[in-house]
Amino acid sequence: MHGRSPEMLKPTLIAGACFGTLGALPIISLINCACCALILGCGVLASYLYARECRAQGAEFRPGSGALVGLIAGGFYSLVQTLVAATVRLLIGDPVAQAVVEWFQGMPSIPTESREMIGRLLEQSGAWSVFMLVLGFLITLFVAAIFSTLGGLVGGALFKVARERLPGEQDPSAGPPDTSASTPTL
């Protein structure tokens, strides 16, 4: 198994599950929406874990491999984030909508009728359906595909692993062997 690339499933699933769970938590999800840091981190972590396995097996790991690992981890991120977010909404509702409703209700400068109307609209927008769940998953998948691939590309550059050469094996980047010294002249 020396020099053979390891399986990508384990590192990508670990990174996607960890960061997808974090991305679904109410307060952290707002921060993640602002800068996509968790999604980038997902790709970097997947690259790190995969590079570690490549190093252990003597396989090569380059930025292109990191991008692929990041892309796969982004898919797992999207799936886990959607499932955990749906579970959170089922258990406690939409905490962001609740906070906005409370904030509007506490503003004395807004007329009472307007505050009540805004509160009703926000509460109704908190209601979701299977369509909204699927739409949210697809949007997250699109965004995660971009940013986790970038994170994986960065991770591939940071955690690059060169393949170990066997004794007598020439480095392909060195070019053809120099035979000019062994050629007899007449």
The 3-class secondary structure across the chain, one letter per residue, is CCCCCCCCHHHHHHHHHHHHHHHHCHHHHHHHHHHCHHHHHHHHHHHHHHHHHHHHHCCCECHHHHHHHHHHHHHHHHHHHHHHHHHHHHHHCCHHHHHHHHHHHCCCCCCHHHHHHHHHHHHHHCCCCHHHHHHHHHHHHHHHHHHHHHHHHHHHHHCCECCCCCCCCCCHHHCCCCCCCCCCCC
Q: Is the pLDDT of residue 97 over 80?
A: no
Query: For the chain, which residues make up each domain, given as ranges?
Result: 9-163
Residue bearing the bigger pLDDT, 9 or 4: 9
Instruction: Give the pLDDT of residue 3.
Output: 63
Q: Tens digit of pLDDT for each residue in 31-67?
A: 777 678 899 999 999 999 999 999 999 899 999 999 9
Q: Is the pLDDT of residue 179 over 70?
A: no
Instruction: Give the pLDDT of residue 186.
Output: 53
Most confidently modeled range among 20-29, 115-124, 143-152:
143-152
